[in-house]
Chains A and B, each alone.
Chain A
Amino acid sequence: MLTRNRLLAGTAALVALSLVGPAAAQAPIKIGELNSYKVFPAFLEPYKKGIELAVEEVNTAGGVLGRKIEVVSRDDNGNPGDAVRVAEELLSREGAAFLIGTFPSNVGLAVADFAKQRKVLFIAAEPLTDKIVWDQGNAYTFRLRTSTYMQTAMLIPDAVKLKKKRWAIVYPNYEYGQSATAAFKKLLKEKQPDVEFVAEQATPLGKIDAGAVAQALADAKPDAIFSSLFGPDLAKFVREGQTRGLFKGVEVFNLLAGEPEYLDPLKEESPDGWYVTGYPWSELKTPEHTKFLSAYQAKFKDYPRLGSVVGYATVMSAAEAIKKAGSLDQEKLVAAMKGLTLITPFGKIQYRPLDHQSTMGAYVGQIGVKDGKGYMKNWRFVDGKDALPSDADVQKMRPKN
């Protein structure tokens, strides 16, 4: 009831509260959601649909604690300062029970720190940064999405198997690309000590000079390339690399490139044989995914992207947490989130008590081209819990509260 206590600080708030109070029993439980809708629309439009579907399902099934749920969404403009303000608005004006959402690392970390200060539960949906659960982890923040480290670790077995010596690296120059690169170099070096990193290109996000980058990488004569590019940067890199023959006889690994958001725009130019993490939505036959897929297609007449799964699973996590806590008290919610298990379209996940990271997995495979469209072939599912460092290592990274 911390939020209420704080509300009482202003006398006017008291009056407002007394007006709202009696009606609140039947009113839906509000969950505050914030995201950079206008900055990353390709991912976040499907994400929003995933949220809508989950809310509908939870409410049709009778809601939680005898009340319906309502997700109140706000645009944070991709700016941490705005995000903190919006988060505050969701809590104090909308009366949101807690917070979910965010996409870029810096926004996710800022909201996580805010949640810690405000002592409010925050379920980070999409930020991939490892820091949000490790170096900067805190008691109130949980993260759903398979992190940069986890996705990189999932690609390592294939990379090791190929026994390539000379690796070139290209990454978008900010948190995500930097930590993917660092994790890749560290993990590969452990498994294959004689590996050599012959070139490294850090490109400004959204502004890659693809021709020059492809040429610089080719000059280093690599056997294999590790890339963490996505979006327009990826499309430009693929085209220039193909035209310039960069990928001939060279194995390429690319984080995220199998996600429909980034793979589908490439169409017939999808790079055949690349090792990627992604979401082969049309080929998944598990009952939980089939149920999600048919419900999604029935509601939106469109296929789901990875963002849809993330949005859906985030709201489901929130609903399960409320159910398990049996109350909206923050400490009880946080306690419920620790070790919470639920079924998502990707199967069963658990929010680890150790570091608040969910064990949501990802699909690893290769890109193929069929009927002028890219798809994922030879894919396998890797459970998130198998792609994490040892508990001792995690404890070393995570600050003690």
Chain B
Amino acid sequence: MTLASILIQLLNGLAAAASLFLVSAGLSLIFGVTRIVNFAHGSLYMLGLYGTYSLIQFFGRTPLGFWGAVVLAALAVGLVGILIEVLVLRRIYRAPELFQLLATFAVVLVIKDIALFTWGAEDLVGPRAPGLSTAVEIMGRRIPAYDLLLIAIGPVVLALLWLLLTRTRWGALVRAATQDREMVGALGVDQAKLFTSVFFVGSVLAGLGGALQIPREPANLELDLAIIADAFVVTVVGGLGSIGGAFLAAIIIGVAKAFCIGIGTVTWFGFEVSFSKLTLVVEFLIMALVLVVRPYGLLGKPQAAQRATEPAPRLQVPSWTFALVWLALLALVPLAADRYTTILLTDIVCFALFSVSLHFIMGPAGMVSFGHAAYFGIGAYAAGLLMKRFGLPMEAALLLAPLVAGLFAIVYGWFCVRLSGVYLAMLTLAFAQISWSVVFQWDSMTGGSNGVFGVWPSAWLADKTTYYYLALVLCGAGIVFLWRVLFSPFGYALRAGRDSPLRAEAIGIDLRGFQWAAFVLVGALAGLAGAVYAFSKGSISPSSISIAQSTDGLIMVLLGGVETLTGPVVGAAIFTWLRDVVARNTEFWRAVMGGVILLIVLLFPQGLVGGLKVLVARWREQRA
């Protein structure tokens, strides 16, 4: 790269960082105050683009029309944010931690279908910014004038936010709530109003980030998920709640991407290294690196401990009779139902073990994982590759796969248990994405983006009913085992660590060691679920290790109820079944799915099983 191209790529990186910073700043603000992991933030960004497109159509392509559209669209997105907060989130602030994530996931589905209905499926290429449509020549290279404007907008917004946060009463309240929101509440500040206003400002920033992209990016339906992962990465790399950190992180990531592209393919010691392919994963590599070195991001501070308002309810271990009755019922299903029911149940059984293993780590062990699909996918790939590439018999591949997943969990877990809270969750996501990108690129081993095919079970297991029984036995055993472990001294130690790390350490529990062991245990069992799943499908693709798969796991756990043991199983069953039924019957099935989840969220803020337990308890009280 020549000096000129280095400079130009630097400018490209800075321009790309601008929108990323706006979106991430909004996310950081909302998370800092409300502790909500807002999946719908990407959808607000997408609405910003669509809104601006339509408003420019309406106002005309004049400078006033363009900038008026940008500002109005951002404000309109802010109103959408208020709607989401008031109609949905406000009702579930008291639900268990992370439950709001479920609601925002449902909102993503609904907004996507509303956008499809309103704006249609075709990509909408917006106009260039009037007066800024040409390029400026710098060192013999041409760079769009609009990009230079974007580079300037970033610091301006940063300065405005800084003024807002440090020089106004509202800013003082926001900073106070970020540090200790219960205390702010106790001092008589109306939390509902504060949360709504923070949501408004955060959403405006997301909308503005989208609106400013309209000359650079066609409005399309994939934008929401394309930006949300990056926005989370920037927020976490910068340090949660730190606007300056988000600015720094956005620039680092934007510039790193531009340089990966600028460097292109280089030959080192006879090996071709394609940096342009690194763009697939570079932000996650940076995040992993930063979190390993700085556990609270670049400019973040350790999170203030939240005072638990109510202790988590006691876990009740399901009795053996309960488990055996269910097992017997499930075993009888193939005799009474059709072939497809058996196949659907095989899926459900695999996902049940997957979600129980996730629940083990995020519930009782208190370590949320956003990248649990890593182990599911590695298990699936290990099973397929051991059979196809290393010629092992299917049975051996199936049983060895969990060990491979466990091995990866040993490595990933070692890093993860050194962190806590959302930082830990994001590091698990980073490892999952790094695994995903390796699988996606390593054509000769993993089949690249296509995956591995012909992964069918041995002849004696080929019959779908037989395979269902195998899945039921393996996954059922895995689930029962995990449940038993929770009531062993090991499980109690983990729960002690979750409820009070200091006291646990004080009585001599090597907490980190225990958490590491828990990581490996659930990694191996998620790997088992993945291996069983792979052989039931006959093929494995990178989607088994993707963010979507990890998200599905979270949804299942939260839907069933994170504070119960059977919840994750019920969640897996309901979610898989719902998707099967809903996707079959309706054109706008995502919106229907989102609507159903929202309904469940609002009616059962403890999840389905948690909610049922509350109902049963109330009924008993009334009778007594």
Contacts and interface: CB of A to CB of B under 8 A. Distances in A.
Interface string B97-125: 00000000000000000001000011111
Interface stretch (B81-89, B243-251, B272-280, B353-361): B272-280
Interface stretch (B160-168, B219-227, B299-307): B219-227
A114 interface: yes
A212 B13 contact: yes
A348 interface: no
Contact of B453 (A6, A110, A244, A264): A110
Contact of A206 (B134, B147, B222, B339): B222
Contact of B276 (A12, A41, A201, A267): A201
Contacts of B539: 80, 84, 109-110, 113-114
Contact of B451 (A74, A106, A117, A267): A106
A210 B144 CA distance: 12
Nearest to B282: A204
Interface in A39-93: 41-42, 44-45, 74-75, 77-82, 84-85, 88-89, 92-93
B454 interface: yes
A79 B580 CA distance: 13
**Which interface residue of B347, B448, B451 has the most chain A CB atoms within 10 A?**
B451
A245 B463 CA distance: 61
Contact of A266 (B125, B143, B226): B125
Interface in A241-298: 243-245, 261, 264-267, 269
A245 B338 contact: no
B9 A215 contact: yes
B164 to A, nearest CB: 30
* Interface size bracket, A side: 35 or more
A352 interface: no
B449 A81 contact: no
Contacts of B578: none
B548 to A, nearest CB: 8
A240 interface: yes
Contact of B123 (A77, A85, A265): A265
B170 interface: no
B142 A243 contact: yes
Given A85-B347, A106-B451, A213 B261 contact: yes
A395 interface: no
Contacts of B548: 79
A88 B338 CA distance: 12
A244 B143 CA distance: 6
Contacts of B135: 243-245
Contacts of B584: 74, 89
Contact of B589 (A75, A106, A213, A264): A75
B615 to A, nearest CB: 33
Contact of B450 (A10, A78, A131, A173): A131
A334 interface: no
A136 B344 contact: no
A175 interface: yes
Contact of A204 (B16, B258, B279, B456): B279
Interface string B268-308: 00000010110110000000000000000000000000000
Given A219-B2, A231-B123, A79 B454 contact: no
Nearest to A109: B450
Interface stretch (B25-33, B329-337, B410-418): B329-337
A211 B450 contact: no
Contacts of A131: 450
Contact of A81 (B2, B440, B448, B543): B543
B276 A202 contact: yes
Nearest to A105: B450
Nearest to A113: B453
Given A9-B465, A207-B226, A209-B12, A235 B277 contact: no
A218 B123 contact: no
B336 A12 contact: yes
Contacts of A211: 12, 15-16, 143-144, 147, 216, 258
A174 interface: yes
A93 B338 contact: yes
A117 B538 contact: yes
Contact of A109 (B141, B226, B451): B451
Interface in A1-31: 6-7, 9-13, 16
B274 A202 contact: yes
**Which interface residue of A202, A212, A219, A240 has the most chain B CB atoms within 10 A?**
A212
Contacts of B515: none
A82 B589 CA distance: 15
Nearest to A89: B340
A239 B216 contact: yes
A309 B388 CA distance: 38
B339 A215 contact: no
Contacts of A145: none
Listed from nearest, the 3 A-B pairs whose CB atoms lie closest are A41-B121, A174-B449, A212-B261
Interface of A: 6-7, 9-13, 16, 38, 41-42, 44-45, 74-75, 77-82, 84-85, 88-89, 92-93, 105-106, 109-110, 113-114, 117, 129, 131, 136, 173-175, 178, 199-204, 206-207, 209-213, 215-216, 218-220, 231-232, 235-236, 239-240, 243-245, 261, 264-267, 269
Given A106-B450, A175-B450, 4 more contacts: A79-B541, A105-B450, A113-B454, A267-B125
